Amino acid sequence: MEKIAEICGIEFYYIENSNFKSDTVTVNFCDRLDAKRAYKNAVIPALLWRGCRDYPTSKKLTVKCQELFGTAFMTDVGKRSEIQHMLFMVDFLKDEYVKAFDGEENFDDEYIAKEAFKLLIKVLTDPVTEGSGFSEKYFKQECTNLNNDIYAEKNDKHHYAMRRCREVMFAGEAFAVSELGYAEDGENLSSEELYDYYRSYFLKKVPCRVFYCGKKRPDALVDMFREAAATGVFGDGERGGAYIDYVEKHYISREEIKSLTEEYEISDGKLVMGFRTNTPQDSDGFFPLVLMNTVYGGGTSSKLFKNVREKNSLAYYAGSRVSAVKGVMFVTAGISPDKFDTARAIILEQLDEIKKGNITDEEFEAAKNNIINNLRNLAEDQYSLLDYYLDQSFLNKSYALDEYISNIEKVKKEQLPEVAKKIQLDTVYFMKGTKEDDDEE
């Protein structure tokens, strides 16, 4: 990865790769999660996708993308620890494959790419407006849609249980803020206020990184951004940094362990346990922690999979995920409501095994191979690759893919119990199913 430009504080990175049949650009606005701004940030991508001056409806935008040989244009709002991530992505076919289409005349070099870049910048900077606001109709509809998405979060119980655990564990911290914001923040928001926010803050102040993955440097893309910037739309270049803080609080006392059970009408119970890892990202324990998590609950040779699922048939899935950067680890399992105590005990017992150093060479090697394979696989898919580099860009200490891999390779088994000993249980959340078994047939 190479940094190729910086325009008004927007950083441009180029990742060379010619293995794919398409080239990809992502524009990533990365704001620190803040309850006051979350809703506004979340509604903007969907609103911009409703149309720009040249293509004033989603229908016209879609038609344009389809004419460009099925160019994919997507917007999204996500969360990376306490960063709210607003994504604009364009993925388009390389010129050389146009010959697979019957009766297509030869296009100018980079025709698809240039059209796709132009469209991307138009959508970002030239939305449909009305007076001094966004189009009133689009604004209202997208607020309604966002509200519906907020209410719909509980439809996916697994995801929702994770969110509830995070909210309990990080009450009052940025990490607990929802990336979709809160519906009540939309109630008093006007289209004018949002438009002003978009012009004066979103485009000008939110840290922004543009990644491009393709065969050669995207000079045309950089030129087009520079041209747009000349109008002042991206401000004067003062943007805060986007970074992930290590947890605000560590080492809690035993009395502070939180436990919450909530009842829902479902048949499978969802258990989520939140732990504090107490190992900062820039410390020596970082890579051992990544490995320790995999030995514990990452994948099918992990202790949790073997003991919760295979040995005791307690769950269909059981695993752990660590945000080593953030200093937290979550264990999740889908269990029947009467198995709560058993599952909780086995999950803690397996962590104790690691603390005691009971890790076989097979478990350790499997975890290592697994992580390395996953990392190498990243390079085989431009979306994952761009994702990896975006995540790295949030860290004080970042690693190129090869560097990350060699650091994993260097970890010794003896280091794992050391990092495990620092891990502390913080929150136990149980979404308890109350549905009676109704097995007709």
Partner 1 sequence: MKSNITLIEAPELGEKLYEFTHSSGLKVQIIPKKGIYKKFAVISVGFGAVNTKFILPGQSEITTVPDGVAHFLEHKLFEQPDGNMLERFNAAGARTNAATGFSKTYYYFNCTENFDICFDMLMHFVTHPYITPENVEKEKGIICREIKMYEDNPEYVSSMNLFKLLYHKNPVRKEIAGSVKSVTETTPQDLMLCYDNFYIPSNMVLTVVGDLETEKIYDEVCRHFDGFERKECPVKYFEREPDSVVAYRSEKKMDVSRSMFAIGYKNDPSVLIGDEYLIHGLAGNILCNMLFDKSSVFFEKMYEKGLIDYSFSSDFELDRNYAAASLGGESDNPEELLKYVNEYISETSANGINENDFIRVKRSLLGSDIRMLAFPESIGKLFSSMYLQGIQGFDYFNVYGKITANDVRKVLERVYMREPVMSVVKPL
Q: Which of residues 316-355 bind partner 1 (CB under 8 A)?
A: 316-317, 334-336
Looking at 49-110, list the stretches that DSSP marks H as alpha helix, in order from N- to C-terminal side. Answer: 58-67
Verify binding: residue 306, partner 1, rule CB under 8 A.
yes
SS3 readout for 336-352: CHHHHHHHHHHHHHHHH
CA dist 358 and 420 (Å) reads 11
Chain centroid offset of residue 219 CA: 28
Interface segment toward partner 1; rule CB under 8 A; list 5-13, 25-33, 250-258, 359-367: 359-367
**Quick check: 116 and 60 in contact, CB under 8 A?**
no
DSSP state of 86: E
State which of residues 2, 96, 341, 436 lies at the interface with partner 1 (CB under 8 A). Answer: 96
CA dist 108 and 58 (Å) reads 27
- Closer to partner 1 by CB, 93 or 119: give it: 93
State which of residues 365, 403, 409, 414 lies at the interface with partner 1 (CB under 8 A). Answer: 365
Tell me which residue has tokens 């790419």. Answer: 113
- Closer to partner 1 by CB, 116 or 247: give it: 116
CA dist 325 and 312 (Å) reads 32
Tell me which residue has tokens 């994948």. Answer: 299
Interface segment toward partner 1; rule CB under 8 A; list 175-183, 188-196, 237-245, 361-369: 361-369
From residue 373 to residue 412, what is the string marking binding to partner 1 with x (rule CB under 8 A)? xx-xx-xxx-------------------------------
Rg (CA), the chain: 24
Interface segment toward partner 1; rule CB under 8 A; list 170-178, 201-209, 307-315, 412-420: 307-315
- Closer to partner 1 by CB, 108 or 439: give it: 439
Verify binding: residue 360, partner 1, rule CB under 8 A.
no
**Quick check: 319 and 304 in contact, CB under 8 A?**
yes
Interface segment toward partner 1; rule CB under 8 A; list 114-122, 162-170, 308-316, 351-359: 308-316
State which of residues 200, 259, 369, 396 lies at the interface with partner 1 (CB under 8 A). Answer: 369
Q: How many CA atoms lie within 13 A of 81 on its CB side?
A: 21
Nearest approach, Cβ of 377 to partner 1 (angstroms)? 6
On the 0-12 / 13-18 / 19+ scale of CB atoms within 10 A, 384 is middle
- Closer to partner 1 by CB, 239 or 309: give it: 309
User: Tokens representing 328?
Assistant: 């937290």
- Closer to partner 1 by CB, 140 or 249: give it: 140
Task: Restricting to residues 14-33, name those near partner 1 by CB under 8 A.
Answer: 19-22
State which of residues 71, 81, 191, 393 lies at the interface with partner 1 (CB under 8 A). Answer: 71
Per DSSP bridges, beta strands 258-264 and 208-214 are: unpaired
Q: Output the CA torsion sign for 352, 357, 358, 360.
A: positive
Nearest approach, Cβ of 282 to partner 1 (angstroms)? 27
Nearest approach, Cβ of 295 to partner 1 (angstroms)? 11
Task: Restricting to residues 41-70, name those near partner 1 by CB under 8 A.
Answer: 46, 57-59, 62-63, 65-70
Q: Output the CA torsion sign for 180, 184, 185, 189.
A: positive
State which of residues 129, 283, 301, 323 lies at the interface with partner 1 (CB under 8 A). Answer: 301
Q: How many CA atoms lie within 13 A of 197 on its CB side?
A: 16
Verify binding: residue 314, partner 1, rule CB under 8 A.
yes
Nearest approach, Cβ of 415 to partner 1 (angstroms)? 20
- How big is the site for partner 1, counted in residues (CB under 8 A)? 77
- Closer to partner 1 by CB, 201 or 317: give it: 317
CA dist 331 and 124 (Å) reads 39
Compute the residue count for the chain.
441
Query: Which among 303, 320, 312, 298 is positioned nearest to 343, based on CA atoms?
Result: 312
Task: Restricting to residues 184-203, name those near partner 1 by CB under 8 A.
Answer: none
Verify binding: residue 372, partner 1, rule CB under 8 A.
yes
Task: Restricting to residues 251-270, name those near partner 1 by CB under 8 A.
Answer: 264-268
- Closer to partner 1 by CB, 280 or 298: give it: 298
Verify binding: residue 362, partner 1, rule CB under 8 A.
yes
From residue 145 to residue 184, what is the string marking binding to partner 1 with x (rule CB under 8 A)? x--x--xxxxxxx---------------------------
Nearest approach, Cβ of 394 to partner 1 (angstroms)? 26
On the 0-12 / 13-18 / 19+ scale of CB atoms within 10 A, 256 is exposed
Query: Which among 228, 237, 330, 244 is positioned nearest to 280, based on CA atoms?
Result: 244
Per DSSP bridges, beta strands 258-264 and 424-433 are: parallel
